[in-house]
Amino acid sequence: MPKRGEKNKKVSPLLKALREQKASKLKGGIYHRTQIDLTYNSNHIEGSKLTHDQTRYIFETNTIGVTDSAINVDDVVETVNHFRCIDYIIDHTEDKLTENLVKHLHLLLKSGTSDSRKDWFAVGDYKRLPNEVGGQDTCAPEDVHKQLKTLLDEYNHKGKKSFEDILDFHVRLEQIHPFQDGNGRVGRLLMFKECLANNIVPFIITDDLKIFYYRGLREWGHINGYLTDTCLTAQDMYKELLKYFRI
């Protein structure tokens, strides 16, 4: 597990608020709202059937509310795990992106799920079987380490990252698709982390932006504006939250 990095630059007001509210377990603030909104939307994009209210209830009470319909246990486990992932990126915002950090997020996300009990599924490690995303080929399992290392080296060499740098990293990570499952959620957590690390207002891809987000991923390198505009729209929504919470 990577160690927390040196804080050699000023912490943004948002990161300061997230850390203070996380430590004090403050309810109803930007930390509380980010945990629920980011977890609900990122999991929902990947097929979770939990509602926003159910996600909120799990975060606030660590219990599942009464419901008339059956609830998938994995949806609950991955919701709780995603809360831990967000805590991790808040604590480790300044850490350089490494293979170990990326793998650790996957370990946090998928621990205790039904996938973790499959002998072919590697929790916290790279995929063992070929997979595809949206009908597109991805990196072969045996090439993941090499391709991801190259991507991380190129990204880390840039120093201060721009909004476009972060989006480009996200697209290339999704194209590699290093894990058997959980790639999108790990990738969106890393985007949030890297925005925080580079004093860029982060954003949450909401479920209603999903179709535009997927189009943006698919068209990146041809029409970068699709993904950029979608993420800027999401960023505007998060800016409204910051305005509301006076950050």
DSSP string, 183-245: HHHHHHHHHHHHHHHTT-------GGGHHHHHHHHHHTTT-THHHHHHHHHHHHHHHHHHHHT
**115-139 pLDDT per residue, tens:** 999 999 999 999 999 999 888 899 9
Is 47 annotated in some ligand binding site?
A: no
Q: Which of these is catalytic: 44, 92, 177, 222?
A: 177
What whole-number distance in Å separates Cα of residue 78 and Cα of residue 44?
11
Is 181 annotated in some ligand binding site?
A: yes
> What's the pLDDT at 9?
63
Determine whether 157 is an active site residue: no
Is 56 annotated in some ligand binding site?
A: no
> What's the pLDDT at 70?
86
> What's the pLDDT at 64?
87
Is 187 annotated in some ligand binding site?
A: yes
161: DSSP letter: P
Residues 6+ apart with CB under 8 A from 40: 50, 51, 52, 55, 56
13-124+131-244 is classed CATH 1.10.3290.10 = yes
> What's the pLDDT at 41?
98
Extract the residue ranges of the chain whose pLDDT is less than 70. Answer: 1-9, 66
Residues 6+ apart with CB under 8 A from 96: 5, 156
> What's the pLDDT at 7?
46
Is 188 annotated in some ligand binding site?
A: yes
Q: Yes or no: say if 144 and 127 are a contact pair by the CB < 8 Å rule.
A: yes
The first and second tokens of residue 141, run together, are 């399992």
Q: Yes or no: say if 67 and 53 are a contact pair by the CB < 8 Å rule.
A: no
